[in-house]
Structure 1
């Protein structure tokens, strides 16, 4: 469904997170949680980052590793060499027994520096917020940490996902925590969201693949209908993790047939721009692909 709230600008696929990003994600299903953890870990390892996983305290390390490694033992080497570690908030703040934002952030700041000194490209951490109840932490203190952690991220090679189990936190806390994070990750891998901006601009977030092609094309048809009077439409593809050839062809076909429009501007990254040109974008007079770089 289209979204028009403040969330729209912060929503991003988990696979598009990069150093400096601090993201909220929530889940209400254990399988969804493990999909997110596994993708986050494997992408970090592939990018040469050091990776920390802080699971919910009630989940044993053996289960975490079994989930991440399924169906193969792909992280054994990374664990052996110290690139991947499963730890806990209790370990992170040691020797302190009580959580404080200053102690936690200081430890993560130092861990990021150690990671780069060891030759890694940065540090990323997946933190399941089940630790809050386990340590008896104050929710207000946690909120202050989430809104005041800029020094961990600004200009630094650190990426963090804070995962909230909707079965453990009430709705007011979840809403506040979602608003406290600069980024909000899509809950499900493989999903596609359509969000609308000023002047009926349409942005796609997630994966525009074969499974989502009908929805992708339908959203474009609706956007073209809504912008008929203005005679121009802006389409933003920069928050897609994947754009299939079928969806790209659908976009070109609709732009070619949009006789009532003077301009269909497509904001895209380098790979998407290359694909559109190879598929014939230059032959569509009213189509204007524009390569953009996400601001740091």
Structure 2
């Protein structure tokens, strides 16, 4: 993930930590070295003290990159990944379902590490996850890293998180030039949802075909679903608009009249997570 707002960072940290605890995983948080531990704890605990017990029993741990690579003083990918592999094995041996780590990349400047070393680690970390119950978020503060570095890291990672909880992201691209929606297609994002569909329909007018992927949405409102059907019904220049959706989304679209839109073909898929 990347952020340029401290509130965004804490929203994601809190959600990531609490989800891991609820799943019975061990959680390690490596915050930005410049943030006092008292602030980190206050942020994670807000609005209640429900994470305090997890810290007391060792399920939730605050750490730092200096601690992870100790006794080394200079960062190396081999040292860091070796320690994380060992911590994953330790977590499962202790009876936890797995290990998850939130790593704020503010440590790079604090340790004076070359960004080329960081880039190599981020693009060669598959072994950390293969065959292991390990989850990791790397958080890049856009006020500290260049746009080129952030863009490179977004390409290097298999997933890029939305900047804010409750937001909507629309993207077109490879491999099949489909319009993909990610996040929350609710009333607050309905205008953006509609506009993205309008642009995609205009862009594919010559091809007369469009694929719309809804499977990465956490929520699809009646308003957004209705907007989709209305726009597809009005796209008389298209021979086919394929809508890939989850079971609940498919059921909603059918109840709203999807079967009466001749050029729309709804295809139910299993969610990709």
- Normalising by structure 1, we get a TM-score of 0.82
CA contact (8 A) 1:45 1:83 kept: yes
Distance across 2 between alignment mates of 1:202 and 1:237: 9
Matched with 1:197 is 173
Runs of at least 5 residues in structure 1 that lack an aligned partner in the other structure: 1-24
Q: How many residues align?
A: 272
Q: Residue by residue, what CA displacement relative to the aligned partner does 1:247-277 show, whole Å, maximum 9, x if unpaired?
A: 1222223233433333221112334334334
For 2:15, what is the secondary structure of its paired residue?
A: helix
CA distance in 2, matches of 1:121, 1:279: 41
- Equivalent positions of 1:47-62 (< 5 A) are 47-62=23-38
Residue 188 of structure 1 deviates from its aligned partner by 2.2
Q: Is the 8 A contact 2:216 2:272 kept in 1?
A: no
Gaps of 5+ in 2: none
Separation in 1 of the partners of 2:221 and 2:20?
Answer: 24
Aligned partner of 1:4 in structure 2 is none
Q: Among residues 186, 192, 196, which one is paired with 1:219 in the alignment?
A: 196
Q: Aligned residue for 1:255? A: 232
SS in 2 for 1:185: coil
Larger RCO (CA under 8 A, 6+ residues apart)? 1
> Pairwise mapping of residues 25-40 of structure 1 onto structure 2 (< 5 A)?
25-40=1-16
Contact 1:200 1:227 in 2 (8 A): no
Deviations 1:38-60 (A, max 9, x none): 12222222333222110011112
Aligned partner of 2:85 in structure 1 is: 109
Q: Distance in 1 between matches of 2:189 and 2:178?
A: 20
- Computed over aligned residues only, the root mean square deviation of the Cα atoms, in angstroms, reads 2.3
2:59 aligned to 68, 83, 95, which one?
83
Q: CA deviation at 1:235?
A: 0.2
Q: CA deviation at 1:290?
A: 1.7
Query: Which residue in 2 is equivalent to 1:239?
Result: 216
Alpha-carbon distance, 1:149 to partner: 0.9
Rounded to whole Å, the distance in 1 between the matches of 2:23 and 2:257 is: 32
TM-score (structure 2 length as normaliser): 0.89
Does the aligned pair in 1 maintain the 2:179–2:211 contact within 8 Å? yes
The answer on 1:207 being equivalent to 2:184 is yes
Partner of 1:157: 133
How many angstroms apart in 2 are the aligned matches of 1:270 and 1:53? 35
Q: Is the 8 A contact 1:228 1:260 kept in 2?
A: yes
Pick one of 117, 130, 151 that aligns with 1:141: 117
- In the alignment, the residues of structure 2 paired with residue 169 and residue 200 of structure 1 have an alpha-carbon distance, to the nearest angstrom, of 30
